[in-house]
Structure 1
Amino acid sequence: MWPFGGRRVPRPLRDLAVIGESADLTAVRRIVVLGSAADLGAVLTRLLRAERLDVEVAHVRRPWQARGARSRPAARVPLIRDETGTVIAGAAHWLPTDGEPTIRGEAVVDDEQLFDGDVPGVRIEPTATLPGLRAAVRPGRLRPKRWVSGRAAQLGTTGARVVHDGELAPRTVRRSTFYRHTEGWLRVGAGKPR
């Protein structure tokens, strides 16, 4: 079990061993992540870089999910990462640089153009099924209306900020890509109950 941010451990998980950032992942078969989508993304990034995508991963955000984290089977789902090897578990965004109202450039999802010109931002989400991700132009603070699904989303721009699961990347970019990794991750609860 990998708790983040001082989260309380639900009763059904209290007998599990606690691991953390310095954990040796060679003998781990299943990890229960107690935390946010960003925390889950950090664990998946670590597993990707350690070449341990054979580890089953359960994500517990609420206490009622704890029992299933132990007993539900895992199924392979697409793993979405960027060119730096950072995994997204919830959503990523391409946003304007500080002081700019829009992103100027072009984005495509596989072979379909998402936008060409100026947009307020783009949201990218992993999907549980192939092709693996979906992206949409964000009309201000509203939820997107038109999603484009594909294996990869690519941006070329005069400058944008990248956000991974709510966490802002340190530098502005001119190019950014999110894509489905060659191997998915084993999500606990994605399969049928035992």
Structure 2
Amino acid sequence: MPVPIALASQPTTQTGQIPDLTVIDELLPVLAADSLPRLIVLGADAALAAVLTHLMRTERLHVEVGYVPVETTYASRVYQTATGNAAAKIALEGRAIETPLIRDDTGTVLVGRAAITGIDGAKLEGEAYVDDTLLFSGLVTTMLISPTMTMPGVRARVRKGFRKRTWVHGRAAQLGTPGAIVTRDGITAERKVPRSTFYRFEQPWLLVR
């Protein structure tokens, strides 16, 4: 992945499409030595989600995080980060703001979009709520969940055929189902689940904007 000009003079660490946890761990002592630690993620939504998941699990959400996607992604739209060199300049020169951190019941952070579908292309069967509001009961094509940059932090909607319903906002989105497949930020889980919950974590993350 090409490094934007604005980041060319900055120290970089190469890793896979989804950052290896050992690579992140090697960077943490370096960041700890800085009074205002800032980590810039150059990659796709799954890379940002992996970094934030590790920071959350290791209780390091005080680290400022900049996001530099090469092209427009769901997360770049949510957090209004721009792309490429423009995003790199923001990540370097911007100010960190507290932003709702959305995770699910597997302890994985969501930054862009989650899509929940039925098994083997079938419709999704079940019942879902956003806080106390019924999102759907019965059969739908897909349930979509996304973070928001402001409180309450989570929004969800469903697709029925080619129709998209209005987003419903809340602190948490919960689904109960005979079986579903969850795709988080482009990464599809291998196992079906009987339930799925996405909710705002007790601590925010520090997004550089």
Q: After TM superposition, is the score higher than 0.5?
A: yes
User: Displacement, 1:99?
Assistant: 4.1
User: Tell me, what secondary structure is at the counterpart of 1:57?
Assistant: strand
Q: Distance in 1 between matches of 2:159 and 2:197?
A: 17
Q: Could you say which residue in structure 2 is the equivalent of 1:18?
A: 12
Q: Could you say which residue in structure 2 is the equivalent of 1:103?
A: 124
User: Displacement, 1:26?
Assistant: 3.7
User: Tell me, what secondary structure is at the counterpart of 1:153?
Assistant: strand
Q: Distance in 2 between matches of 1:38 and 1:146?
A: 25
Q: Could you say which residue in structure 2 is the equivalent of 1:118?
A: 139
User: Displacement, 1:64?
Assistant: 2.1
- Name which of 166, 170, 191 aligns with 2:186: 166
Q: Could you say which residue in structure 2 is the equivalent of 1:145?
A: 165
Q: Could you say which residue in structure 2 is the equivalent of 1:66?
A: 88
User: Tell me, what secondary structure is at the counterpart of 1:42?
Assistant: helix
Larger relative contact order, structure 1 or 2 (CA cutoff 8 Å, min sep 6)? 1
Q: Could you say which residue in structure 2 is the equivalent of 1:3?
A: none
Across the two proteins, how many residue pairs are aligned to each other?
Answer: 181
Q: Could you say which residue in structure 2 is the equivalent of 1:180?
A: 200
CA RMSD between the two structures? 1.3
Q: Per-residue CA shift, 1:101-150, capped at 9, x if unaligned?
A: x11110001011101111111100000000001000023455x3311100
Q: Is the counterpart of residue 79 in structure 1 residue 101 in structure 2?
A: yes
Q: What percentage of aligned pairs have identical amino acids?
A: 48
Bigger helix fraction: 2
Q: Per-residue CA shift, 1:3-43, capped at 9, x if unaligned?
A: xxxx1111211222223532241442111111111111111
Q: Could you say which residue in structure 2 is the equivalent of 1:36?
A: 44
Q: Distance in 2 between matches of 1:157 and 1:121?
A: 12
User: Tell me, what secondary structure is at the counterpart of 1:38?
Assistant: helix
Q: Which amino acid is 1:151 matched to?
A: R
Unaligned residue ranges in structure 1 (runs of 5+): 1-6, 190-194
Q: Could you say which residue in structure 1 is the equivalent of 2:151?
A: 130
Q: Distance in 2 between matches of 1:66 and 1:140?
A: 39
Q: Distance in 2 between matches of 1:171 and 1:89?
A: 21
